[in-house]
Structure 1
Amino acid sequence: MDKFQSSLGKLSMAFNKNIYINAIKNGMLAYMPFTVITSVFLIIGNFPVPSVNAWMASLFNLTVTQWSTKLAIVNDASLAIGGLLVLLAVSRTLADEMKINGMQAMLTSVVSFMVLTPYKTTKAGSFLDITTIGAQSIFLAILVSIAVAVIYRVIDRKGIKIKMPASVPPAVSSPFESLIPSFVVITLFWIFRLILDNFAKLSALELFNMILGTPLKAMGGSLIGIILVKMFGQLLWFFGIHGDSIVNGVMTPIFQVLQDENKTASLAHHAIPNIISQSFWDGFASIVVIGSIFAIILIAHSHRYSEMKKVAGIPYLFNIGEPTLFGIPLMLNVTYFIPLLFSNVVSIVISYTAFALHLVPLPTGLVQVPWTTPIVISGYLVTGSISGAILQLVCFVAVILVWLPFVKIADKEIMVEEKQEEEK
């Protein structure tokens, strides 16, 4: 056990220190506020109560459709260019980690990304299909930012740059020093674009989706896939490793693409394609923490758990579980191994089944609430239906039932220990 724990600890440390993983994670975190801001506008423009929608539209002398279109402008200016936003965030983060010129590396990434992005030409002229820089291109954007940063750093470290006299101000010398690295990077991407155009007859986005994008989405968007991912995260928690941090760093781009596909379908009034998305992950697959705390609140009598309830009670309302995870503690606590590993599976299966059988409307993708949003509220907002809130309550109760017998066993053991301490 000690050897296994040590190996996991080393793996986690290596994972958390990996500059590429950190850049992806921090880049997605930087992108997150725009998803929330856009969600507010989309909620208002597609309010689930028709009479309220009509009333708001009438205030501006608009039809409901016109009102919805006006509020979708914010979406078109943010999430619709999600790939570009993630590209900017990841490339800047990587540049800072690699100690290269952040501004120039970021701009070089944008140009390189656009070099790979084809324009469409019609009789009316040339135009850019905005979907090629939207959320569906997040994976490609991440790869481009990593490739640009790596190539840029190699050239920069070799000193292949225009060196200006020391008397020249940094604001002037810095762009000149970046000229050769940026030129080489952009030229390489241009050559890659020519190869794709002339031989593969595919765009970079099409090629990436064919090789990696589609398989990754299939894995992240399947019931078995999300169960395995969640169980892996919980297993890491058992060994004292922040499982959410590791899992989210890898899976968030996948869930975000699935979320955007749902949002696009909702805005077009088409059938929603994906059960699993970021909203499913945050709102229905991650109820284990609040379930465990509520189980303790219901039946615990030991002094240790009574004190812990005072600390953990309020945070759990906002899905913050660290006080419980480290207060019980769950690390290497064999008593809680089964509920820690499998209670989320119960919630995932119940939710997936309810959505698959159309008992509850699928998360629309129009709304992406922060993961700290309390259950019931988040369930209603992401599905646009009270049945979404009810489903969360059902999952909540199911998770509590999984935890209750184990909490009861642990509580009795602690009470015996406390009694023995008092008798000494």
Structure 2
Amino acid sequence: MDKIMAFLEKYLMPIADKLNNNKYLAALREGFMLSLPLIIFGSIFVVISNLPYLDKLLGAAGLTELKNLLGAASNSTMSIMTLFVVFGIGYSLSKQYKVEAVYGAAVAVAAFIILTPTVVQYGKTSKDVVDGVIALDRLGAKGMFVGIIASFISVEIYRLVIQKNWTIKMPAGVPDAVSRSFSSLIPAFITLTCFLLIRIAFTFTPWGNIHDFVYKIIQAPLMTLGSGLTASLIAIFFIQLFWFFGLHGQIIVNSVLDPIWRTLSLENYQAFQAGSKLPHIVNKQFMDTFTVGMGGTGMTLAVIIGIIIFAKSKQLKELSKLAGPAGIFNVNEPVIFGLPIVLNPMILIPWIVAPMVVTAFTYIVMSIGIVPAPIGVDVPWTVPIFFSGTLATGSIKGGILQLVNLAIVFIIWTPFILMMDKKYHKDELEAEGINA
């Protein structure tokens, strides 16, 4: 065990540290965090308009009218999520480069819009098109990777021009807002001209626009890879392993995989709204609600329950009193640092194995249709177990699956809880004997 930990500390920790401090991953993380409250707003109204038995209560016509009235909430948030992510990435990256963050964010959004097609085909022939409009999916799932790439490149060009001092300097006495606007004029002009040229260049390619090129060549293959069980298990493994060493596993791993999982969620949401079959099992809600999120990272609500049932040591009994109420709402820092989880070789096996077993079990149960896949709506992370699973899937079966998963984690952890408790209880008795 000591050799394994020494190996991991030598080779894994430097990689994790670099990922955690990478400016692009930090900007990506903050971009998605900016969009989170807006997505939750839209998700709440999607859940409301799809509550069970509403069709019986309101009738088919009444339910359709309700969905039409509430639809603006999701269309103006979830359906155009890429816009918010692009703005957030542009703002965060510009701030890291110490240039005007708001202007950097605005240029990123403008660059993305320049690349976005404004022609929508509604029929089968080339004449069945509408010009001067943007399809919602280009601002949502289908345009996510283009938006991320555009925001990174646009800010890099923008800050490079500023750092070369290719800016307009206004005389003293000019209002600050006016001065900042004029100083951003040349950098914005050069940056957006570059993106206009990219748009024009892609009109001469077989794809016609960069959106379809990125989606077919980059985004679709990555989504296929990221939606599989193998990739999910690898992600869970590293999340748990990073946490074991005291690093925030979600921040490190999600920074890389969130664009894929969020896009998968958006595609599920669009299919759900259209009444079609959900295309993906794995998405953001699958990873958050049914794997690491039941009681917090590592599903530690089951650990707290095991401690309450079995513990004889004072240390674990006191921990359960502190961690229990917080664990109900998926806050588990008391367990992670009080058990402790971090650098505790006694619990490395259940800490890593339990979430991976539950992930595989959840995937299998959903793939054979016993429980529906998550529909793509965001559930606030503090929503307790059973309720979060029900909301994420739009079915009570999702809540029941969470309870089954909790039982699986409980069974896996029980021998290790007993072993820890025995050791802690023995140490306490020896300490009392010495003190006596």
1:169-221: CA deviation from partner (whole Å, max 9, x where unpaired): 22111111111111111111111112211134332122212332123212221
- Secondary structure of 2:32's counterpart equals helix
Aligned residues of 2:90 and 2:104 also touching (Cα < 8 A) = yes
The question of 1:27 aligning with 2:31 is answered yes
Match of 2:211 in 1: 205
Match of 2:309 in 1: 298
Whole-Å separation in 1 of the counterparts to 2:311 and 2:221: 45
1:220-271: CA deviation from partner (whole Å, max 9, x where unpaired): 2111110110111101111121112211222222111111111111111111
Whole-Å separation in 1 of the counterparts to 2:87 and 2:137: 17
Shift of 1:2: 3.8
Gaps of 5+ in 1: none
Match of 2:123 in 1: none
Aligned residues of 1:47 and 1:53 also touching (Cα < 8 A) = no
Match of 1:381 in 2: 391
The question of 1:252 aligning with 2:258 is answered yes
Shift of 1:12: 3.0
Match of 2:407 in 1: 397
Letter in 2 for 1:27: G
Aligned residues of 2:207 and 2:213 also touching (Cα < 8 A) = no
Letter in 1 for 2:266: D
Match of 2:324 in 1: 313
Aligned residues of 1:79 and 1:135 also touching (Cα < 8 A) = no
TM-score (norm 1): 0.94
Match of 2:90 in 1: 91
Aligned residues of 2:167 and 2:187 also touching (Cα < 8 A) = yes
TM-score (norm 2): 0.91
- Shifted more, 319-328 versus 135-144: the winner is 135-144
Match of 1:63 in 2: 62
Q: Quick one: which of 8, 16, 22 aligns to 1:18?
A: 22
Corresponding pairs, count: 418
Aligned residues of 2:168 and 2:182 also touching (Cα < 8 A) = yes
1:257-292: CA deviation from partner (whole Å, max 9, x where unpaired): 111111111111111111111221111112322222
Aligned residues of 1:162 and 1:176 also touching (Cα < 8 A) = yes
- Secondary structure of 2:300's counterpart equals helix
Match of 1:115 in 2: 114
Shift of 1:103: 2.1
Alpha-carbon RMSD = 1.8
Aligned residues of 1:46 and 1:53 also touching (Cα < 8 A) = no
Residues 335 and 262 of structure 1, relative CA distance in 2, 3 Å threshold = same
- Secondary structure of 1:332's counterpart equals coil
Whole-Å separation in 1 of the counterparts to 2:331 and 2:227: 25
Match of 2:173 in 1: 167
Match of 2:343 in 1: 332
Match of 1:421 in 2: 431
Whole-Å separation in 2 of the counterparts to 1:413 and 1:318: 29
Residues 8 and 393 of structure 1, relative CA distance in 2, 3 Å threshold = same
- Shifted more, 125-134 versus 256-265: the winner is 125-134
Gaps of 5+ in 2: 121-127
Aligned residues of 1:360 and 1:387 also touching (Cα < 8 A) = yes
Match of 2:352 in 1: 341
Match of 1:78 in 2: 77
Shift of 1:4: 3.4
Percent identity, aligned pairs only?
Answer: 33
Letter in 2 for 1:394: V
